[in-house]
Structure 1
Amino acid sequence: MSDFLVLGGGVIGMMLARELSDAGADVTLVERNQCAQESSWAGGGIVSPLYPWRYPPEVTALANYAQDFYPSLAEELLEETGIDPEFSPHGLLMLRVADQEAALAWAEREGRNVEKVDSAFLYEKEPDVAPGFDQALWMPKVASVRNPRLGQALRASVQQRKNIRLLEDTEVTGIFHEEGEVLGVKGKQMVFAARRTIICAGAWSGPLMQDLGLDTSIKPVRGQMIVFKAEPGLLNRVVLMDGRYLIPRKDGRILAGSTLEYVGFDKHTTEDALYSLKQTACQLLPALKNCEVEHHWAGLRPGSKDGIPYMGEVPGYRNLFVSAGHFRNGLVLAPAATRLLADQLLGRSPVIDPEPYQPKKRLAAP
């Protein structure tokens, strides 16, 4: 019997498995498909919430910790696995921001770096951005990672640890419990037992908890993205405008995203989204009109009402824990979410106050 059974092999599930195994625990990690192939793969990899001042302080606390942690994590994974997550600390430019004063006030309050810059600064940084902008907001400390590579590195890291049992292509059909005590999970062909079970299944966390009589309001939210095949140097840092963004990769490719669609567990792409994403991207960076759209895909975010994740013990069920509902910020918050829940599971002093994220405060026991 494992000490911990982690349901979900996304970035958060894999980071948590690593953290628990490094503390000496035996961990079983169960993933319904392949690790890091859902929202962890499909997102853009910006290591910051979009317009971070618009989020509640509970999200800000996690984001601040995670952003400061990512440089060492990327370096550690590269050294450990030989796979480069492509951590790119080149900053974020935001155009046409209506609430600039709120952003600057938030930055001063939180000790984060946000600067109002003029057009000369903007076009020196990114000369190929469309002409006509007279100012921007600049966040020099914001980075991005190439999230598919991050997922590959985490998977390789998990596989190297002898006290982690990785089970992919293993669908969980329910939580196995007796008289309020969770003993493990039921699969299609067998039962997996553990002393403690943690739900980290992204958008699929909602249905698993619904089966236990708990309404988390965690629902899938589709996001569509495209990638242009461009030459290196056309864009060198993340640029954000009107909720849409462009993200450069080291090989020159440029990601454009993303949509926000409530269509259930439907990952189909649409021609309307393709047209809209291309139009926005070319409006922001006109040279993309001459670049091929190499790929168009969709992923499912674990949407929640306020974007504040549930992290802690599930009310009404002993030995059952959850880390879910991170909405658009799963990758952004992953190091902090991992550390916070691991601290609770291992009885350590928490690095962040766990109370605002406790399911018992936000969910009624069945």
Structure 2
Amino acid sequence: MAKTLIVGGGVIGLLSAQLLAAQGEEVLLVERQQLGAESSWAGGGIVSLLYPWRYSPAVCALAHWSQAFYPAWGERLRDSTGIDPEVRATGLFWLDLEDEQQALDWAREQGRKLTPVNIEKVAQNVPALGEGFRRALHMPGVANVRNPRLLRALRATLAESANVTVLENTEVSGFLLQAGCVLGVNTSHGELRAERAERAERVVLASGAWSGELLTTLGLELPVEPIKGQMILYKCAEDYLSTMILARGRYAIPRKDGHILVGSTLEHAGFDKAPTNTALASLKASVQELLPALAGAEVVGHWAGLRPGSPEGIPFIGEVAEFPGLWLNCGHYRNGLLLAPASCQLLTDLMLGHTPIVEPTPYAPAGRLG
């Protein structure tokens, strides 16, 4: 009998299912297409906020918890599934920051290692770096994760779980109500409550950029909107780039096998996910600036994803008071992969009545829905 029905098969939905199942809960996960095929797959996988000093304490609290969780999590997934998510601590250089002093003040207050580095030393570490940069800050230990492999490992974990059922290619169009409580969903294949049960005990909405559309069927306004992001991919020698670099809003991320991701754009284009020549030209211009030797190299991948944009990037995690039984875990904006461990653990804590890992009030839907 499925006690929890999760709508959405990205990293948030998958990890929520895994954590609940580990606590003995029966879970039914519903995804409108293939698992992990939306923004979770499309993201860069940096295990850090791009500019942590610019975020609220609420977002930073989830980020710090997740950063500590990732290394051992990656090892456990690799050992249990044979799929290595490649959680690699490469470090990160920020170049020519406008708010460098704010960043240093934040690091000192938070006890984080962030140090100014002579630009000549950066060039020694990153021989391919373009000229013209003047200043740099470095944070060691910042990792990145190979997100498509992370998703494959999570999928394999759920496939081995006797108390998780996954339904792909099943689109949810609305919710089933009884006496004001949410007890299931309407789908392209009919009503889903819980297998061999009258109702699901809980329904979790973890549909990323599509979460707001589903909540409108209940007359609620969730301030989550799709923000399009495009990236390009190069294949280089494995030692071409040893660390992540970020300058003027664009980043380069090295993978273990020599692939390098460069991203990303921020576009308000509704639910349009089509890659564009305009974005391609913009990203190539960033490559020309960051890593000039790549400018003439072949782009082996170019894609777009839709981030679930939310006010201040603070996700919605908790039960919707107006509709008991309906829980949210959505609105992570551009940090879904980073915030997933803490967000899903917090959701699990709240659902099962455990002591929450962080103070839950900033993420509660109460007072944040229209």
Which TM-score applies when normalising by structure 1?
0.98
CA distance in 2 between counterparts of 1:143 and 1:215 reads 35
State which of 344, 347, 357 in structure 2 corresponds to 1:338. Answer: 344
CA distance in 2 between counterparts of 1:167 and 1:277 reads 36
Whether the aligned pair in 2 keeps the contact of 1:315 and 1:363 (CA below 8 Å) is: no
Q: CA deviation at 1:96?
A: 1.1
Match of 1:11 in 2: 11
Aligned length: 364
SS at match of 1:104: helix
User: Gaps (5+ residues) in structure 2?
Assistant: 194-199
CA distance in 2 between counterparts of 1:123 and 1:341 reads 43
Match of 2:326 in 1: 320
Q: Does 1:118 align with 2:124?
A: no
CA distance in 2 between counterparts of 1:55 and 1:210 reads 28
SS at match of 1:155: helix
Q: CA deviation at 1:124?
A: 2.3
Equivalent residue runs for 1:112-191 within 5 Å:
112-191=112-191
Q: CA deviation at 1:120?
A: 3.1
Q: CA deviation at 1:24?
A: 0.4
Q: Does 1:265 align with 2:274?
A: no
Whether the aligned pair in 1 keeps the contact of 2:96 and 2:134 (CA below 8 Å) is: no
- Paired residue type of 1:335: P
% of aligned pairs identical? 50
Whether the aligned pair in 2 keeps the contact of 1:269 and 1:298 (CA below 8 Å) is: yes
Match of 1:221 in 2: 227
Whether the aligned pair in 2 keeps the contact of 1:113 and 1:141 (CA below 8 Å) is: no
Match of 1:244 in 2: 250
Match of 1:255 in 2: 261
What CA deviation, in whole Å up to 9, does each residue of 1:15-64 have, x standing for no partner? Answer: 11000000001000111111111000001000111111001111000000
CA distance in 1 between counterparts of 2:8 and 2:108 reads 37
Q: Does 1:55 align with 2:55?
A: yes
Moved over 6 A (4+): none
What CA deviation, in whole Å up to 9, does each residue of 1:101-153 have, x standing for no partner? Answer: 10011111122221111123212221211123332010112110011111111
SS at match of 1:328: coil
Q: CA deviation at 1:325?
A: 0.6
User: Gaps (5+ residues) in structure 1?
Assistant: none
Which TM-score applies when normalising by structure 2?
0.97
Match of 1:197 in 2: 203
CA distance in 2 between counterparts of 1:254 and 1:331 reads 18
CA distance in 2 between counterparts of 1:51 and 1:196 reads 35
CA distance in 1 between counterparts of 2:350 and 2:274 reads 38
- Paired residue type of 2:121: F
CA distance in 2 between counterparts of 1:359 and 1:142 reads 31
- Paired residue type of 2:336: G
What CA deviation, in whole Å up to 9, does each residue of 1:251-271 have, x standing for no partner? Answer: 111111001111111000110
Whether the aligned pair in 1 keeps the contact of 2:6 and 2:17 (CA below 8 Å) is: yes
Q: CA deviation at 1:243?
A: 0.6
CA distance in 2 between counterparts of 1:195 and 1:217 reads 26
CA distance in 2 between counterparts of 1:213 and 1:306 reads 23
Q: Does 1:231 align with 2:205?
A: no
